[in-house]
Amino acid sequence: MSEDVTHIKKILVFRFSALGDVAMTVPVLWSFSQRYHEYEVWFVSRPFAKDMVAPLPNIHFFPLSLKERHKGLAGLFRLYRELRNNGPWEVVVDLHSVLRTHVLTTLFRISGTRVARINKGRKEKKALTRKSNKIFKPLQSTISRYQTTFKKAGFPFEMVPFPGKELFGTKQPNDLFASDKQQEAASAPSRENPAGFTIGVAPFAKHNWKMWPEEKMWNLLCILDKEDNRIILFGGRGEEQEKLEEWAANFKKASTFAGQLSMREELQLMSQLDVMISMDSANMHLASLAGTRVISIWGATHPFAGFYGYGQSPDDAVQIDLECRPCSVFGNKPCHRGDFACMMNITPEMILHKIKAK
């Protein structure tokens, strides 16, 4: 006899964006699944998140289409009906807490379903980033806030080690990459020069105030290339892809596959790096998922706001101590000083020191 699906215990989890914030849900979902084997989690997010949660047990991915099927208020009502019809749900866990999820959770509450919503700590973050009377102290991490939200929903659990390399890595990388050049990058750990490193470099971020100036990054790449390291450049499609292809052509052991790989393939490639150099950006979080050490460069933002890469050492955050830092949670506000000292004072030598420290 087939199992009666009405007896399956199910919970609903919302986290629609952004890429880095969605990536930080993965270790939390992993820990939940290790503690509550009997529950099926429906994770509602943008299509890009599918490959991130695919290796996790008891996680069902539900793709969100905010530009088409689930667009606008009518689309949210359609999404609600679709999710309601796949219930019943024991609880809805809102890890996003934006207007869209507030509409959805209100509808579920009206229908009698329990809801737990994340506390983003907006007041604390405002105090951390304001110009005067700044309260400079580490805030609860985003990962911990996710975990706390599950506890509010009635599901306390301890975080357990996340096996990123095991879940996202591959023992046969050459089967993954089609072209000769891709195979060369995929087999990077089998390098001819064992003294060098296989280094990922992700120079971009959503906002300019989180990006190390281009000329400084170029100088670092020149040094890394002279030291015979293999360099793999990471970024998105379009302008980023064009810039990275232009850069890669200037170095003897540099390559980029920006815009060419799926999320699964990109995570597999990251899992093979010795180290990733990244801004406070999505690539910091993706490399963290893949179990790779990340040297992160911080300007307008600060790890104290709670968005540091999961499992990364605090010693690997490169930053300058300034009274004005941080001036923004997301790096979307112009420099208070006008000289961008937080990034301009970071040198390539500081990054090199971190790379060779371990």
Q: What pLDDT is stored for residue 196 in this prediction?
A: 80
pLDDT digits (tens, 9 = 90+) for 186-206: 444 444 444 589 999 999 999
Q: Alpha-carbon distance 174 to 261, whole Å? A: 14
**pTM tops 0.75:** yes
Q: Which residues pair with 267 in a beta bridge?
A: none
Span 281-300, pLDDT tens digits: 999 999 999 999 999 999 99
Neighbours of 22 (CB within 10 A): 22
- Cβ atoms of 93 and 14 closer than 8 Å: yes
Looking at every residue in the chain, the average pLDDT score rounds to 91
Which of 243, 205, 217, 259 lies closest to 344 in space, CA to CA? Answer: 217
User: Is pLDDT at 212 greater than 80 in this prediction?
Assistant: yes
Task: Kindly tell me if the per-residue pLDDT of 36 is higher than 60.
Answer: yes
Residue 356 pLDDT: 87
Residues 130-153: tens digit of each pLDDT: 999 999 999 999 999 999 999 999
Per-residue b or e along 154-171, where b marks 16 or more CB atoms closer than 10 Å to that residue's CB: ebeeebeebebbebbbbe
Of 98-112, 169-183, 243-257, minimum mean pLDDT range: 169-183
Tokens representing 45 are 């997010």
Return the number of other C-beta atoms located less than 10 Å from residue 358's C-beta. Answer: 11
CA–CA dist 136, 159 (Å, integer): 26
Residue whose pair of structure tokens reads 């499992």 in the numeric block: 311
**pLDDT confidence of residue 195:** 57
pLDDT score for 188: 46
Q: How confident is the model at residue 182 (pLDDT cuts 50, 70, 90)?
A: very low
303-354: pLDDT as tens digits: 999 999 999 999 999 999 999 999 999 999 999 899 999 999 999 999 999 9
Pick the more confident residue, 71 or 190: 71
pLDDT band at 7 (very low <50, low <70, confident <90, very high): low
Residue range 175-179: average pLDDT?
A: 43
Give the DSSP per-residue string, 225-240: HHTT-EEEE---STHH
Strands (E), 152-203: 198-202
| Rg value, the chain, Cα | 21
**153 token code pair:** 């929903």
Provide the residue type at 191 as one letter: R
Domains of the chain: 6-152 (3.40.50.2000), 167-356 (3.40.50.2000)
Rounded Cα distance between 227 and 63, Å, is 44
pLDDT at 336: 87
Packing angle, helices 263-270 and 282-289, rounded to 10: 70
Q: What is the pLDDT of residue 150?
A: 98
**pLDDT, mean of residues 56-60:** 96
Compute the distance between CA of residue 109 and CA of residue 92 in angstroms, rounded to an integer.
9
